[in-house]
Amino acid sequence: MESTENQTGKGRKIRILVVEDHPVFIFGLKELIHQEEDLEVCCEASNVTEGWDKILRLKPDMVIVDITLEGPSGIELIRDINKRFKTLPVLVLSMHDESLYAGRAIAAGARGYIRKHETSESIVKAVRTVLAGEIYASKRVIHSILNRFVTHPAGSPVDPADLIDTLSDRELEVLRCLAQGHNTRKIAEKFNLSIKTIGTYRERIKEKLGLQDATELIRFAVRWHERGC
C-alpha cells in the first residue's frame, strides 16, 4: 500500500464516506475508523441519493456502503460510482450473505465485501486492502464466484435456489421484500414504483426460478430468507 502522504497529500487523513441507514452501526464504525491515525469518517449518508450528493460535493477518498438502504440499493450507488469515478475505492459492509451479494457487488465495481459481524481487525484490514487497490473477499466468496463458471450437469434437477444469480438486483430486492411479508403495494411504495411494475417483477422472478404461482413464490422467498440469504 502507498503511504498516506502519497495517496492524499502530506499530513492529510484518508477521508471516508459511510453510506448506512443504521445510526448505531455508523457510530461504532466511526469509533473504529477514528482509532486509526491516518483514517477518518468525513461524512455520512443514509441513502443512495444523499450518498451521491456527498461524493460530488465532498470528494471522499473512499466509500463504505451497505447493500440494503431505503430506496435504491447500495449496488446501484456502486454502479454509478464505477461509471463516473472508477478510481474511487468502494467497500461493501453488509449483514447479508456474502455468497449471494459479494459477486454482484464486485461485478458492479466494489473492491471488497465484508460482513458486519466480522471482527474490528478484519474490518480495518478490509479497508486497508481496498485502499491499496486490491480486492478483499473471503475464501468462501472467491469459491462461490468461481463456482458460477461451472455448468450445471445436463439433465439433473435444478433447485430454484441455484438460479438466484439469474435475478436482477431489483428482482432480488423484491424477493427479499416478499420474504419479509410485504405485499405488492408496500413494495411499490418502498421503491417508488407502480404496483403494475412490481407485479411485472414478481412474474419475472417466478419465470426465472421456475415457480408455478404466487403461493410457491412466497413459500420459496420465506425459506430462502430463513437460510440467512
Model pLDDT for residues 149-177, shown as the tens digit of each residue: 554 444 444 456 667 777 888 888 899 89
Looking at residue 72, its pLDDT comes to 83
Average pLDDT for the chain: 84
Q: Residues 50, 20: contact at Cβ < 8 Å?
A: no
Q: Give percent of the chain above pLDDT 90.
A: 49
Domains of the chain: 4-145 (3.40.50.2300), 160-226 (1.10.10.10)
- Is residue 124 predicted with pLDDT exceeding 80? yes
The pTM (predicted TM-score) of the whole model is 0.68
Rounded to whole angstroms, the Cα distance separating 33 from 138 reads 21
pLDDT single digits (tens) 181-194: 899 999 999 888 99
- 108-112, 134-138, 147-151, 190-194: least confidently modelled range: 147-151
Predicted local confidence at residue 10, as pLDDT: 55
Residue 55 in this model has a pLDDT that exceeds 90? yes
Per-residue pLDDT tens over the stretch 21-33:
999 999 999 999 9
C-alpha cell at 174: 423484491
- The distance from CA 73 to its chain's CA centroid, rounded to whole angstroms, is 7
